[in-house]
Amino acid sequence: MRFQPNTTFLVTGGAGFIGSNLCEAILAQGLFVRCLDNFSTGKRDNIADLENHPRFELIDGDIRDSETCVKACENIDFVLHQAAWGSVPRSIEMPLAYEEINIRGTLNMLQAARECKVRKFVYASSSSVYGDSPQLPKVEGNEGKLLSPYAVTKHVNEEYAAQYTAHYGLETYGLRYFNVFGRRQDPEGPYAAVIPKFISTLLQDAAPVINGDGKQSRDFTYIENVVDANLKACLASSEYAGHTFNIAYGEQITLLSMYETLCKLLGKNIAPVFGQPRAGDILHSLADISKARKMGYSPMFDFAKGIAQCVEWYKSNL
């Protein structure tokens, strides 16, 4: 991937799990990155090693404020919009907050990018937009009934982005992430993602709780693949503007299989506890990534390679 030396990036949610990894990767290419985060879910620790970098700039601000969004987009070539609230269960508890942050916040960012003449707007969508569709693998254009307010917000984001491409010429690229995992993903709290939460629990010699019978499956996607997808989208042909793309590896792993792998890597022999299924969760997820490959995406990390690196990071940092 080659960018001009004076290329500038804005990463919203840049102090979060995915955002901080994007900031780090951009700086590693010798380029400028501006981070916008209000630290509602992001952590200053995630960007502590970046804050004194001469090509890094931090704006402590909220995407719900339109003036902040415009300020953040000034003199920016590429926006990588990651700022959002995740978690299906929390969205069911707090639908109004999700509308304000995920929908209005994204609309503010789209408008700011348009006004500041940003070259491309790459944004985080989610596999949750497939809802109850039983089709496997998941293919863009074959979605089902949405199962949570979180999924609704991501669907609306995609619709607004397509409108901004169609009516205002802003090149938008939606990345439907499938169960991303990797370094700096928060293992704490009631809404923590399953992999870091399991690793943290096992490192404490405790038994993690699997919601449901563990036979549900996911297309677990290592963070390096997601970073690659964002940067490839910035270099993608304009013919793909206004489109959405599945970002995954294309590999189906059950929760039980994932758990067994973690136990082997950590040298643990602890039986899990089985709890009730979570409201709004889908049973199975597997991505068809052929469209993303045409856009330029080429994942290098399968689950086995990614989880091995992930476990080593948590062993050194928890």
The CA distance from 43 to 74, in Å, is 24
The CA distance from 242 to 82, in Å, is 17
Residues 6+ positions from 92 with CB-CB distance below 8 Å: 148, 149, 279, 280
118 closest CA partner among 175, 161, 57: 161
Question: What are the catalytic residues?
Answer: 150
Per the omega criterion (within 30 degrees of 0), is the bond before 137 cis? yes
Question: Could you give the count of Cα atoms lying within 13 Å of 116 in the half-sphere of its Cβ?
Answer: 27
